[in-house]
């Protein structure tokens, strides 16, 4: 059976990486290595750090949701396998008793 990620994991991954790339861009601008072509307001380091932290938080939530989803899938597969094995045993027992 092919496992699919929940859509929320994909969204959190995209926004998490986007926030990290924005934080890197803000850090480059803040440090003075790049001067924007348009007039930009002053960027504080706290804005850079909070953007990076937000991206890492989103990636963490995505990982947590993905782990919980995998645990749920493992439980469902185990339950299905146990029920399939039980139905085979019940069927075999009923065939023996019919003789």
pLDDT tens by residue, 37-89:
888 788 899 999 999 999 999 999 999 999 999 898 888 888 777 767 766 66
State the Cα–Cα distance between residues 92 and 99, nearest whole angstrom. Answer: 11
The pTM (predicted TM-score) of the whole model is 0.72
Show me where the domains of the chain are located.
7-97
**b/e 3-42 (16+ beta carbons within 10 angstroms → b):** eeeeeebeebbebbeebbeebeebbeeeeeeeeeeeeeee
């Amino acid at each position: 059976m092919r496992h699919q990620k929940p859509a929320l994991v994909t969204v959190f991954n995209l926004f998490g990486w986007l926030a990290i790339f924005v934080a890197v861009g803000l850090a480059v601008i803040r440090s003075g290595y790049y001067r924007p072509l348009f007039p930009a307001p002053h960027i504080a380091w706290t804005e850079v750090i909070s953007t990076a932290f937000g991206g890492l938080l989103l990636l963490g939530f995505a990982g947590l949701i993905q782990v919980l989803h995998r645990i749920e899938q493992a439980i469902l597969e185990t339950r299905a396998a146990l029920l399939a094995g039980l139905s085979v045993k019940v069927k075999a027992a009923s065939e023996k008793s019919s003789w």
